[in-house]
């Protein structure tokens, strides 16, 4: 009896799936599955192997295996603006009725008028004013709740995805790979520390005590038995550029063995890491993929990568070419 054509197609399809299944399972089991075979992946694997091989010349005790990562542009995207800036801008608009003076006062006027050019011209000072105004006047618990509410509802203007899905799948795999090999992973970012703690553990597997960032002034308050840490409208420490090694030294107390960044704001952190004794690793995520993400470096106002790129090339640091070396950028993409 002849088998119906539809039945033949079904059998053929099932056979194909069964034949491909071991390959798919093997791919998923790979620790750096979204990294293509190439220079960067080889350098990472060789470094981890060297420092974890007991009895080897480069072996490092687990307690010293500290890995630090910038956040914006390194673990998740940062275009068209830093995501925390987009949060702060939404907060300015939400709070504007309580602050009528903002209609004529920069940088708030630029935010309310969606004048990105004027806002960019305000530079870091303007940004810090916005952060101080929108991130203070409440307890840390209230601010975390507000941040999580925004992250749950806001969507990226280009992809329509939640911002917590705009994370880099290869970097998630790298974090897991390092932890599986005895590393302790930290975020060291210019972002405000409590904002990052609102999502870092869920998204990156990095607990709050391993998140380091820009901090605001704070005060302990006892209001009729209700205890809280209140956030003050002043920046206590800007965790960018030279501020990063200062934070690492004061909070971690150990020099990192591995550091990853993506901009000139990470240069001093990379330098501090590589200045230590023994085998060390410095890496930069180079945004070269205009199709799947964005392509920018030396002339960008966001994630400016110039001096750090020159130093990486001169010193042989690992520069990850996103377009060439990543099989996929985001978790929601199909691997190439």
Beta-bridge partners for 326? 35
Q: Average model confidence (pLDDT) for the chain?
A: 92
Helix (H, G, I), strand (E, B) or coil at 195: helix
Domains, in order of start, for the chain: 33-80+163-325 (3.40.50.1000)
User: Using CB atoms within 10 A of its CB, is residue 223 exposed (0-12), middle (13-18) or buried (19+)?
Assistant: exposed
- Decide if 85 contacts 214 (C-beta within 8 A): no
Reading across the β-sheet that carries 226-237, which strands appear in turn?
A: 226-237, 211-223, 184-192, 66-69, 258-261, 281-286, 318-321
**329-336: long-range contacts, CB 8 A cutoff, minimum separation 24:** 329/168, 329/169, 329/170, 329/289, 329/292, 329/293, 330/161, 330/165, 330/166, 330/167, 330/168, 330/169, 330/292, 331/165, 331/167, 331/169, 331/172, 332/161, 332/165, 333/169, 333/292, 335/27, 335/33, 335/34
pLDDT, tens digit (0-9, with 9 covering 90-100), for 307-332:
999 999 999 999 999 999 999 999 99
Q: What is the pLDDT of residue 25?
A: 47
Cα–Cα distance measured from residue 155 to residue 164, given in angstroms and rounded to the nearest whole number: 9
pLDDT, tens digit (0-9, with 9 covering 90-100), for 114-141:
998 888 888 878 888 998 899 999 999 9
Cα–Cα distance measured from residue 187 to residue 35, given in angstroms and rounded to the nearest whole number: 21
Which residues, 6+ apart, have CB-to-CB distance to 111 below 8 Å?
89, 92, 93, 102, 119, 130
- Decide if 51 contacts 59 (C-beta within 8 A): yes
Q: pTM of this prediction? A: 0.89
Asked whether residue 74 carries a pLDDT value surpassing 90, the answer given is yes
Cα–Cα distance measured from residue 69 to residue 269, given in angstroms and rounded to the nearest whole number: 9
Q: What is the pLDDT of residue 17?
A: 43
pLDDT, tens digit (0-9, with 9 covering 90-100), for 207-256:
999 999 999 999 999 999 999 999 999 999 999 999 999 999 999 999 99
Cα–Cα distance measured from residue 73 to residue 76, given in angstroms and rounded to the nearest whole number: 5
pLDDT, tens digit (0-9, with 9 covering 90-100), for 25-56:
444 568 999 999 999 999 999 999 999 999 99
pLDDT, tens digit (0-9, with 9 covering 90-100), for 184-205:
999 999 999 999 999 999 999 9
Which residues, 6+ apart, have CB-to-CB distance to 286 below 8 Å?
262, 297, 305, 309, 319, 320, 321, 322
């Amino acid at each position: 009896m002849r088998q119906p054509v539809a039945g033949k197609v079904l059998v053929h399809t099932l056979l194909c799936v069964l034949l491909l299944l071991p390959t798919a399972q093997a791919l998923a089991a790979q620790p750096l599955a979204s990294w293509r075979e190439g220079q960067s992946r080889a350098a990472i694997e060789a470094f981890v192997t060297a420092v974890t091989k007991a009895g080897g010349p480069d072996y490092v005790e687990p307690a010293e295996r500290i890995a630090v990562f910038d956040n914006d542009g390194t673990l998740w995207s940062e275009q068209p603006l830093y995501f925390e800036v987009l949060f702060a801008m939404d907060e300015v608009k939400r709070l504007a009725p309580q602050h009528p003076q903002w209609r004529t006062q920069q940088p708030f006027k630029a935010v309310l008028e969606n004048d990105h050019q004027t806002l960019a011209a305000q530079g870091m000072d303007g940004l810090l004013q916005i952060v101080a105004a929108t991130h203070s006047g409440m307890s840390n618990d209230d601010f975390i709740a507000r941040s999580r509410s925004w992250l749950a509802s806001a969507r990226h203007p280009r992809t329509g995805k939640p911002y917590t899905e705009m994370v880099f799948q290869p970097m998630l795999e790298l974090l897991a790979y390092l932890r599986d090999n005895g590393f302790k992973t930290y975020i060291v970012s210019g972002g405000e520390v409590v904002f990052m703690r609102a999502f870092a553990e869920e998204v990156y597997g990095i607990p709050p005590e391993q998140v380091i960032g820009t901090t605001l002034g704070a005060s302990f308050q006892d209001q009729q038995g209700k205890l809280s840490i209140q956030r003050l409208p002043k920046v206590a420490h800007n965790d960018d550029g030279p501020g990063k090694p200062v934070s690492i030294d004061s909070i971690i107390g150990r020099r990192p063995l591995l550091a990853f960044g993506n901009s000139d704001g990470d240069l001093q952190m990379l330098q501090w890491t590589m200045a230590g004794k023994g085998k060390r690793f410095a890496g930069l995520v180079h945004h070269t993929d205009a199709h799947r993400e964005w392509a920018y470096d030396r002339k960008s106002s966001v994630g400016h990568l110039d001096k750090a790129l020159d130093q990486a090339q001169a010193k042989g640091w690992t520069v990850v070419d996103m377009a060439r070396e990543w099989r996929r950028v985001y978790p929601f993409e199909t691997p190439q």
